Chain A
């Protein structure tokens, strides 16, 4: 059936709310407004105010309340409007959600799911456009997932809820309108493994989230120029599935990483470092990275476009990497 990323997310929420009475959704404007990206539209009428809870603009309090409710037997889903606003709840996420299990000697589980929008591309300027999933992936004690397809939008939520530890789902805001076919019986998917989205021989393009579509488009253009690119969708940024990445590299011996985060200290940097540590001698050329430029994302379209990875920059970087001799 034909659907969108947004509808797939909503279907996942509906399924979770139906399957388990411990599940509830809270966040800013998730109820009457229907969600700032309309993901939860209609759920208030279906499930009522107790389970679809509008919150004040108090990110720290309602994220913390999600942690407390999870510690006290619930399966909360907390929506933070965008990851930019999640910084107001960073204390709760880092000092409580990610830490309490270890600090208590393993006594307590926090089966919390936090959903947040991420990414640039809608001319919303710096305070609405950043990508912090790589940052969050730095923190032990939480799991970071980045659905990039309709199947993952539909299937990651339930698996995340069943995980006894906190999971943050980063939804790239440019994907909400993504349309495509989804099997009517689509359901839960794993949140452990990276996936090869396109097979290839000459080089490996590693990406996730909002950059997957651009990277697949780049791979299609590369094929027209005689370069066969394999595309890996990381899906989960923490813990990283390096086996899939290294498996591909063992075949192609060349790699470009596409990551909408800033380059310095980025997830792309982490992947490069791990390849150096674990598979240096598999490389026929230096790894290249296509990341966001090190500027706060600007408002005008031409500057915003230039600041983040694009099909053309991916193609260019891939061609250079494919042509380099070790």
Chain B
């Protein structure tokens, strides 16, 4: 796709929103405002920013516990996401989920699933429902390459293809399942081959290139929407930060991380846009200012939020009588 100025700006801004939001999250974690697990997406922003454009408001999005970026790009207000990280009642899941369980009915964002591969069977069912109801919708299911080792990956791809349901399986391959490198957990590290073994069309994409992600996802989503059955995309990407805030990163060298840094999707895209004359330094500064303002407001919203009264603890386990 040719990049016009508006699209270029929007893609860059989405990536920066994720980056700055998460940098703030890390800071707030150290300050004790955010607790539990916090899995940062820093380095992988091109995937969420590029892929989610392919989906309309009626499509369903399923993601993993590393989903802040997807939530923001999907349109969940940053304040509601940040309040969720704080555990406040104003959070998008009323504070009950936290960082790993972002849910939002309005944007059809169905988690925030912290069981690796746990969302894939759901995606097959979401897509089956759309097929049965003759709705031209796509279900987008994000997961990491660690999910490929789970039986649910294999069961779900087989089921989705067997029933030709409109599901798009989006694998974010950041090379490490927590601390286990892909080649230490998979006898065959070619992920697309695994999808193809279920006759699911599969493609590998440079996940550090936001335009490549956008184009590949748009094409795959259109084919899935047209009734061609499920597809699989592998985005080759890299996590710059630790797996979670508890990770001492004993499993990879600093040199390896440094080798990936020049491929930072924000850095490379910014350079490209400058070279093509699509953005200049004042333009970049303007985006940074907008993003900083959005995040400041999100933090203020979370800070001002309230704690759910303990009397409400047992609510929402079962449907409440109307």
Partner of B125, one of A50, A76, A101: A76
Smallest beta-carbon distance A184→chain B, Å: 32
A178 CB within 8 Å of chain B? no
Among B103, B104, B132, point to the contact of A103 (Cβ < 8 A): B103
Q: A89 — nearest CB in chain B belongs to which residue?
A: B121
Taking a contact as CB atoms under 8 Å apart, the answer to whether A68 and B93 are in contact is no
Stretch at the interface among B8-16, B111-119, B260-268: B111-119
The answer to whether B113 touches A101, judged by C-beta atoms less than 8 angstroms apart, is no
**Is B129 among interface residues, defined by CB-CB distance under 8 A?**
yes
List of B residues within 8 angstroms of A58 by Cβ: 155, 158-159
Question: Is there contact, CB below 8 Å, between B159 and A69?
Answer: no
Q: Is the CB of A103 within 8 A of B111?
A: yes
Cα-based distance from A108 to B317 in the complex (angstroms): 11
**Residues A64 and B120 in contact, CB atoms below 8 Å apart:** yes
A55 at interface (Cβ–Cβ under 8 A)? yes
B122 contacts A104, C-beta separation under 8 Å = no
Least distance between A104 CB and chain B CB atoms (Å): 4
Decide if A96 is an interface residue (CB 8 Å cutoff): yes
Asked if A65 and B128 sit within 8 Å, CB to CB, the answer is: yes
Specify the chain B residue showing the minimal Cβ separation from A95.
Answer: B115
Q: How far is the CA of A92 from the CA of B117 in the complex (A)?
A: 10
CA gap between A261 and B256 in the complex, in Å = 54
Does A196 interact with chain B (Cβ within 8 Å)? Answer: no
Give the residues from 61 to 92 in chain A that come closer than 8 angstroms, CB to CB, to chain B. Answer: 61-74, 76, 91-92
CB distance from B259 to the nearest CB of A (A): 36
**Smallest Cβ distance from A105 to chain B, in angstroms?**
3
State which of B91, B94, B121, B319 has its C-beta within 8 Å of the C-beta of A63: B121
Which residues of A lie under 8 Å from residue B152 when comparing CB positions? 60-61, 64, 91
Judge whether A65 and B162 touch: CB under 8 Å. no
Complex Cα–Cα for A181 and B133 (A): 38
Q: Does A244 contact B (CB under 8 A)?
A: no
Check A104 against B125 for contact (C-beta < 8 Å): no
Known A-B contacts A58-B158, A71-B110, A73-B129; A105 and B91 likewise in contact (beta carbons under 8 Å): yes
Within 8 A of A (CB), among B87-123: 91-97, 101, 103-105, 110-113, 115, 118, 120-123
Q: How far is the CA of A210 from the CA of B236 in the complex (A)?
A: 54
Partner of B126, one of A61, A71, A95, A140: A71
* Shortest distance from the beta carbon of A131 to any chain B beta carbon, whole Å: 24
| B246 contacts partner chain A, Cβ-Cβ < 8 Å | no
A101 near B318 with CB under 8 A, answer yes
Contact B316 A101 (CB under 8 A): yes
A74 touches B315 (CB 8 A): no
Given contacts A64-B156, A76-B125, A91-B118, contact A108 B133 (CB under 8 A): no
A102 near B156 (CB under 8 angstroms)? no
B122: A residues at CB distance < 8 A: 64-65, 67-68, 71, 92, 96
Find the residue from A73, A76, A106, A109 having the highest chain B CB count within 10 A.
A106
Which chain B residue has the least Cβ–Cβ distance from A72?
Answer: B129
- Contact with B118, one of A55, A96, A101 (Cβ below 8 angstroms): A96
> What chain B residues lie within 8 Å of A67 (beta carbons)?
121-122, 125
Complex CA gap A71/B113 in Å reads 14
Q: List 6 A-B contacts (CB under 8 A).
A: A67-B125, A68-B124, A68-B127, A69-B132, A105-B93, A107-B103
5 closest cross-chain pairs (CB), A and B: A64-B121, A68-B125, A105-B94, A65-B125, A106-B316
- With A64-B118, A91-B115 known, 20 other A-B pairs at CB within 8 A are A58-B155, A64-B156, A66-B125, A68-B122, A69-B125, A69-B128, A69-B132, A73-B133, A95-B115, A95-B118, A96-B122, A101-B318, A102-B316, A104-B97, A105-B316, A107-B93, A108-B105, A108-B110, A141-B317, A165-B319
